[in-house]
């Protein structure tokens, strides 16, 4: 990554502004995609409950997210008198910034132009893990700075939950890294070009991807991702029947918007990570004529949206967990399972002579 | 040039936030400044081409250890007056420790000179064709494997010790046993009572009141 800086200084201002333009383009498209994903989330939820969902603003309610944005921005921010004002305002900013920062290393495609990623650093996966573990700070800081009981309870719950599930996410990532042999995110996708399917003599297809080779870990990662991003059925942080809105009780207006934005960006990041680590990133499902004509970015987006659809469906029909059950699942089920899988994966790779 | 700018940015911020860790009146602010210090140290590691260490610093210290610090500091009701009371009494000990560290630093720079510009030390640490993650792994699992294993054992013992110290089984607390619930079937969960015909009378209390009786 230091090389990255050196390259920048050698090439001068041109590369600097180029990276800036790239980042801006990525963030802009990401935020627009998230605006529509938010609408999709609500539409899916509504469809499961046989409602129409948002359908007033724009055709089919397509502009609903933008209307919500304007509503939040034009509201007056209310800062409680007893709050720690600096930390109170810093917390939502931190949440949104950390969530967006993880997109610096997520590659969305690779073709003859090169890798479509802002920074192709060689510890990309560790960077993602580090940034996702920082998401908890926005929540603790917000809960504490509000100087009120419900936000504080919500923040404590959330912090414990996120720290617990990070452990199993880390171990799942180790399983994937053992199969890849590199910490580079692009290498993770490229390692899925050959696998079980090509081993059996088939053309490269979706059988090569890690979801099949590491099947239980795919499920563990998906559920841990739900818990890590505080999505239902693990939304105990803002279990409205007990904690009103959890750590966000005292927030309104733009700070609240930043929290929601950070939350949804984190969810989309988790969808992208699932796609990259288990669903072959931008690789086509079968490497034959009509499929590999399609640009890789399309496959990446399609897979990410599919994972997001699964997130939305889980929200729609799984009832909320109780807190002790959540902790039991994290520490007594997922942790031993993923630990055993790490040992198993390492043994198979070592003794089967498959280690990269 | 850019490296130098970032070096001075990170180091200035690291020193400033480290100072605020001590100077901040609110302990939660102190922990938040500590986190900022960790971040800047991670930035310095990146400039030394040690990005693996930088990421580990963020994952372990910022992501886990500092969260626990924050938990403890937020949950405890710290009494500032009591905290400040011992300051004068303990000042000589603090000054002594600080003096020793300062003397060591001065001796180090007197011995090596001030020629430790950014980028100069990095050349020795990283072999040319390996990323530093691979280089670290290769040396840690071959040359230092026993030390690595011993460190692991020490951590394991510490972890078990912490669990033994805190685990106590409280009586009179309702607990959920998932396996018991799952194992429950018609045979164990239900009892069929044979009621002899005619031998059963409704207790007077449970008999529903008729509207006339209520009036």
DSSP 8-state code for residue A286: B
**Any CB–CB contact under 8 A between B44 and chain A?**
no
Q: Which residues contact A174 (CB under 8 A, 6 or more apart)?
A: A342
Residue B139 to chain A, least CA–CA distance (Å): 17
So what's the pLDDT on residue A223? 92
Residue B43 belongs to some domain of the structure: no
Return the closest-CA partner of residue A296 out of A108, A75, A23, A57. Answer: A108
Q: Largest Cα–Cα distance in chain B? A: 106
Asked if the Cβ–Cβ distance from A2 to B178 is below 8 Å, we say no
Q: Is the pLDDT of residue A8 over 60?
A: no
Question: For residue B89, is it within any domain?
Answer: no
Position A340 scores a pLDDT of 94
* Mean pLDDT of all residues in A241-253: 78
Q: How far apart are CA A166 and CA A130, in angstroms?
A: 10
B56 within some domain: no
Question: What CA–CA distance (Å, rounded) separates A235 from A237?
Answer: 5
Give the pLDDT confidence score for residue A224 in this predicted structure: 92
pLDDT at A238 over 80: no
Find the closest chain B residue to A135 by CA distance. Answer: B63
**Cβ-defined contact of A126 to B55 (cutoff 8 Å):** yes
What is the distance, to the nearest Å, from the Cα of residue A9 to the centroid of all Cα atoms in its chain? 32
Instruction: Select the residue from B17, B59, B78, B118 to test the A interface by mutation, using most A Cβ atoms within 10 A.
Output: B59
Q: Is B207 inside any structural domain?
A: no
Residue B176 with chain A: CB contacts under 8 Å:
324-325
- Cβ contacts (< 8 Å) between B58 and chain A: which residues? 130, 133-134
State the pLDDT at residue B37.
93
Give dist(CA A164, CA A324) in Å, integer. Answer: 12
pLDDT tens-place string over residues A78-111: 888 888 888 899 999 999 999 999 998 998 888 8
For the stretch A172-230, pLDDT in tens is 999 999 988 888 888 898 888 888 888 888 888 888 888 888 888 999 999 999 988 88
CB contact under 8 A, A324 and B176: yes
For residues A280-308, average pLDDT: 88
If one compares A46 and A200, the residue with the highest pLDDT of the two is A46
Q: Is the peptide bond before B24 cis (omega within 30 degrees of 0)?
A: no
A167 vs B: CB within 8 A: no
Give the minimum alpha-carbon distance from A202 to chain B in angstroms, rounded to a whole number: 33
Domain of B157 in residue numbering reads as 128-167
**ipTM for this model:** 0.81
- The C-alpha atoms of residue A95 and residue A262 are separated, in whole angstroms, by 5
Residue A14, pLDDT above cutoff 90: no
Mean pLDDT of A314-320: 87
pLDDT of residue A246: 76
Using an 8 Å CB-CB cutoff, list chain B residues near A137: 35, 67
- Contact of A278 with chain B, judged by CB distance below 8 Å, is answered with no
Q: Which helix (H) or strand (E) holds A195?
A: none
In-domain check, residue B152: yes
- Answer yes or no: is B13 within a domain: no
The alpha-carbon radius of gyration of chain A (Å, integer) is 21
For chain B, how many structural domains are there in total? 1
pLDDT of residue B115: 61
Tokens representing residue A356 in the block: 């990269």
- Residue A10 pLDDT > 80: no
Judge contact between A333 and B179, C-beta under 8 A: no
Q: What is the pLDDT of residue B13?
A: 94
Q: Look at residue B137 and tell me if it is in a domain.
A: yes
Low-confidence ranges of chain B (pLDDT < 50): 122-123, 214-215
Query: Cα(A174)–Cα(A171) distance, rounded to whole angstroms?
Result: 5
Greater confidence (A262 vs A4) lies with A262
Cβ atoms of residues A238 and A247 within 8 Å? yes
pLDDT tens digits for A50-73? 998 888 888 888 898 899 899 999
In a domain, B61, yes or no: no
């Amino acid at each position: 990554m230091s090389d990255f800086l050196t390259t920048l200084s050698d090439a001068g201002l041109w590369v600097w502004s180029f990276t800036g333009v790239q980042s801006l383009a990525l963030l802009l498209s990401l935020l627009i995609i998230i605006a529509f994903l938010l609408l999709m989330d609500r539409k899916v939820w509504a469809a499961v409950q046989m409602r129409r969902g948002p359908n007033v603003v724009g055709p089919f309610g397509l502009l609903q997210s933008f209307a919500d944005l304007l509503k939040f921005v034009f509201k007056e921010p209310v800062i409680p008198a007893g709050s720690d004002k600096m930390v109170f305002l810093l917390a939502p900013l931190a949440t949104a910034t950390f969530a967006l920062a993880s997109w610096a290393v997520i590659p969305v495609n690779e073709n003859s132009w090169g890798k479509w990623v802002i920074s192709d650093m060689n510890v990309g996966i560790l960077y993602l893990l580090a940034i996702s573990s920082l998401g908890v700070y926005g929540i603790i800081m917000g809960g504490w700075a509000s100087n009120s009981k419900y936000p504080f309870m919500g923040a404590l719950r959330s912090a414990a939950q996120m720290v617990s599930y990070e452990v199993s996410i880390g171990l799942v990532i180790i399983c994937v890294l053992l199969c890849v042999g590199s910490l580079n995110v692009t290498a993770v996708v490229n390692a899925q070009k050959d696998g079980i399917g090509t081993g059996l003599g088939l053309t490269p297809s979706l059988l090569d991807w890690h979801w099949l080779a590491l099947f239980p870990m795919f499920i563990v990662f998906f559920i841990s991702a739900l818990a890590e991003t505080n999505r239902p059925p693990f939304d105990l942080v803002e279990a409205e029947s007990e904690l009103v809105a959890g750590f966000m009780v005292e927030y309104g207006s733009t700070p609240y918007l930043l929290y929601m934005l950070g939350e949804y960006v984190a969810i989309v990041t988790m969808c992208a990570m699932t796609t990259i680590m288990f669903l072959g990133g931008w690789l086509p499902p079968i490497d034959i004529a009509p499929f590999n004509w399609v640009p890789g970015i399309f496959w990446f987006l399609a897979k990410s949206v599919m994972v997001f659809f699964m997130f939305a469906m889980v929200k729609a029909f799984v009832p909320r967990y109780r807190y002790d059950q959540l902790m039991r699942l994290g520490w007594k089920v997922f942790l031993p399972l993923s630990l055993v899988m790490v040992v198993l994966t390492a043994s198979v790779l070592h003794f089967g002579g498959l280690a990269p | 040039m850019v490296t130098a700018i970032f070096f001075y940015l990170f180091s200035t911020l690291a020193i400033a936030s480290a100072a605020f860790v001590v100077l901040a009146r609110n302990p939660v602010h102190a922990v938040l400044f500590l986190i900022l210090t960790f971040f800047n140290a991670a930035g310095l590691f990146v400039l030394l081409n040690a990005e693996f260490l930088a990421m580990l610093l963020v994952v372990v210290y910022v992501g886990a250890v500092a969260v626990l610090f924050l938990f403890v500091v937020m949950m405890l009701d710290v009494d500032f007056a009591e905290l400040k009371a011992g300051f004068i009494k303990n000042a000589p000990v603090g000054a002594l420790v600080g003096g020793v560290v300062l003397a060591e630093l001065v001796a180090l720079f007197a011995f090596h000179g001030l020629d430790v510009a950014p980028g100069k030390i990095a050349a020795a640490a990283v072999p040319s064709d390996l990323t530093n993650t691979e280089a670290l792994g290769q040396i840690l699992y071959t040359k230092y494997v026993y030390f690595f294993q011993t460190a692991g054992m020490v951590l394991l013992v510490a972890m078990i010790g912490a669990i033994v110290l805190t685990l106590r089984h409280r009586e009179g607390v309702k607990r959920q046993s998932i396996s018991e619930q799952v194992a429950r079937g018609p045979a164990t969960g239900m009892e069929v009572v044979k009621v002899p015909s005619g031998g059963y009378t409704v207790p007077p209390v449970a008999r529903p009141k008729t509207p006339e009786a209520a009036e």
